[in-house]
C-alpha cells in the first residue's frame, strides 16, 4: 500500500439549528493515499462539503479523529492549525470567494502574503500560476471583469500559491456551464500531475466524479458500501 496522507475514523458532525439538531456525518471512515485523486460524490445534504471542511481543518468533528501525515489534527494548537490550512492545504470553492476590490494578481498573492512569503517571491509565483491557468493577460482584472470560469481559474491559482500537498475542491464546477466545468476539471487533473498533489473533489455531478480513479459515495452522512 502507498503512504497514507490522511486517515479519518468515526467522524461525526452535528449542527444545531435553532431547537433542531442536524446530524450531517454519522460515523465516516476514510483513507486517502498520497497522490490520490478522489471524488466525494453525493446529493446535496449528504455531507460532502462538511467532510471536506473537516479533513481540511476548516471545521472540527463532534466525534472521531483525523490523522494527517501521522499526526492528529485535534492535537494542533490554533496557530498550528492555521498554518496547516495556509501552507499544507489548498481550497477551491464553488463560489470562488475572490475579494472584489482586488485584481486577479492581488487575489492570488493574498494567501502567500498571509504565509509571510516575501512580496517579490509571491508576485513572481502568482504571475507564473496565472499564466499556467490561462490568465497571463488578465493579471490586473478584477473579479467583476472576469467570467465565472476565469474567476475559478484565479481561485485555483490562489489555492496553489503556497504549494500545498493536498488540494480540496468543493463543487468546483457548480457555478459553471458544462463545457467550462469540464475545462476546470481537466486543469485540476493536469495541475495535480504536474505538482504531484493529492486531489479531493466534492461533487454531486456523476460526470465530474467519473473523471476520478476513485469515487466515494456519501449517502445520508455515511459512506455507501
Q: How many residues in the chain?
A: 225
Query: How do residues 111-161 score in pLDDT, each as one tens digit?
Result: 898 888 999 999 999 999 999 999 999 999 999 999 999 999 999 999 999
Query: CATH 3.40.50.300: does it fit domain 36-60+77-223?
Result: yes
92 confidence band (pLDDT: 50, 70, 90): very high
Q: Is the pLDDT of residue 225 over 80?
A: no
Cite the beta strand spans of the chain per DSSP E: 4-17, 20-33, 37-41, 63-68, 71-72, 89-93, 166-170, 198-203, 214-219, 222-223
How far is the C-alpha of 102 from the C-alpha of 124, rounded, in Å? 17
> Comparing C-alpha atoms, which of 10, 165, 161 is closest to residue 72?
10
Cβ distance 185 to 173 under 8 Å?
yes
What is the DSSP secondary structure assignment for residue 2, as one 8-state letter?
P
> Comparing C-alpha atoms, which of 203, 200, 160 is closest to residue 41?
203
DSSP string, 110-169: HHHHHTT--HHHHHHHHHHHHHHTT-TT-TT--GGGS-HHHHHHHHHHHHHTT--SEEEE
Distances (CA, A) of 111 to 88, 144, 153, 181, 187: 12, 20, 15, 24, 21
Mean pLDDT in residue range 205-223: 93
Query: How do residues 46-76 score in pLDDT, each as one tens digit?
Result: 899 999 999 999 999 999 999 999 999 999 9
How far is the C-alpha of 91 from the C-alpha of 166, rounded, in Å? 9
Domains of the chain, residue spans = 36-60+77-223
pTM of the model: 0.92
Q: Is the pLDDT of residue 202 over 80?
A: yes
What is the DSSP secondary structure assignment for residue 182, as one 8-state letter?
H
Q: Is the pLDDT of residue 1 over 60?
A: no
Amino acid at each position: 500500500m502507498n503512504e497514507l496522507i490522511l486517515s479519518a475514523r468515526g467522524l461525526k458532525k452535528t449542527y444545531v439549528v435553532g431547537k433542531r439538531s442536524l446530524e450531517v456525518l454519522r460515523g465516516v471512515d476514510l483513507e486517502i493515499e498520497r497522490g490520490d485523486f478522489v471524488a466525494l460524490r453525493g446529493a446535496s445534504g449528504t455531507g460532502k462539503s462538511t467532510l471536506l471542511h473537516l479533513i481540511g481543518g476548516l471545521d472540527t468533528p463532534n466525534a472521531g479523529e483525523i490523522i494527517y501525515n501521522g499526526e492528529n489534527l485535534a492535537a494542533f494548537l490554533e496557530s498550528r492549525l492555521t498554518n496547516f490550512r495556509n501552507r499544507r492545504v489548498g481550497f477551491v470553492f464553488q463560489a470562488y470567494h475572490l475579494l472584489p476590490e482586488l485584481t486577479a494578481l492581488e487575489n492570488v498573492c493574498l494567501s502567500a502574503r498571509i504565509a509571510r512569503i516575501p512580496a517579490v517571491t509571491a508576485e513572481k509565483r502568482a504571475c507564473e500560476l496565472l499564466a499556467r491557468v490561462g490568465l497571463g493577460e488578465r493579471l490586473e482584472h478584477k473579479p467583476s471583469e472576469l467570467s465565472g470560469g476565469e474567476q475559478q481559474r484565479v481561485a485555483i491559482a490562489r489555492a496553489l500559491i503556497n504549494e500545498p500537498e493536498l488540494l480540496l475542491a468543493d463543487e468546483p464546477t457548480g457555478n459553471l456551464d458544462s463545457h467550462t466545468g469540464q475545462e476546470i476539471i481537466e486543469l485540476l487533473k493536469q495541475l495535480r500531475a504536474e505538482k504531484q498533489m493529492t486531489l479531493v473533489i466534492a461533487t454531486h455531478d456523476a460526470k465530474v466524479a467519473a473523471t476520478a480513479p476513485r469515487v466515494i459515495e456519501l449517502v445520508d452522512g455515511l459512506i455507501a458500501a
